Amino acid sequence: VLYGARVSLSVAIFSVILNLLIGITVGSLAGYYGGKVDGFLMRIVDMLLAFPSFFVLITVVTVLKPSLFNIIVVFVVFGWMSKARLLRGQILSVKNREFVDAARTIGMSDFRIIFVHILPNAIAPVIVSATLQMGSMILTESSLSFLGLGIQPPTASWGNLLQSAQSLTILNNAPWYPF
């Protein structure tokens, strides 16, 4: 069980870290620059959010070979949009404050204004969203592994452990055994 937890948690942690990197970059650019940049980036986000993620995950993992790397890649491709949208909204509210105007007045670069002044004031909801997304990614990875589309059986994950526990006769003959 602990080894399966290690695999499931590593998938979730790596996926969320990469989701944060992409989501923070896209959300910061869209929120700070606005206009055509915001419109273009948010239409990409809307387009990716239009697909039901679990069914897309099943389809992509079925087409590709089920492996740890492919699952992380699919989680990253279809998981960063909520972070970008959330951070964009926060940056839109923070970028009109006086300390940002003061930073522009003294000639700071846009990169420095975004990452030194705006991002620390707008990142808190994104961190909360990322921690909540870790649990959802663990459940999704376990579901894919349980269905045979995720981590393959020589490597233990929570989904593989549940799938192998179904065939145990002790659970059929003595259902009170796990308790």
Q: Is residue 151 scored above 80 in pLDDT?
A: no
CATH superfamily of the domain spanning 2-173: MetI-like (1.10.3720.10)
**113-120 CB contacts, 8 Å cutoff, 24+ apart:** 113/32, 114/28, 114/32, 115/28, 118/28, 118/32, 118/91, 118/94, 119/24, 119/28, 119/91
Range among 46-50, 139-143, 152-156 with highest mean pLDDT value: 46-50
C-alpha to C-alpha distance for 76 and 73, rounded to whole angstroms: 5
Q: Is residue 57 scored above 70 in pLDDT?
A: yes
Residue predicted with more confidence, 20 or 174: 20
C-alpha to C-alpha distance for 141 and 147, rounded to whole angstroms: 10
pLDDT tens readout for residues 61-74: 888 887 788 888 88
Share of the chain above pLDDT 90, in %: 30
What is the pLDDT, as a whole number, of residue 73?
86
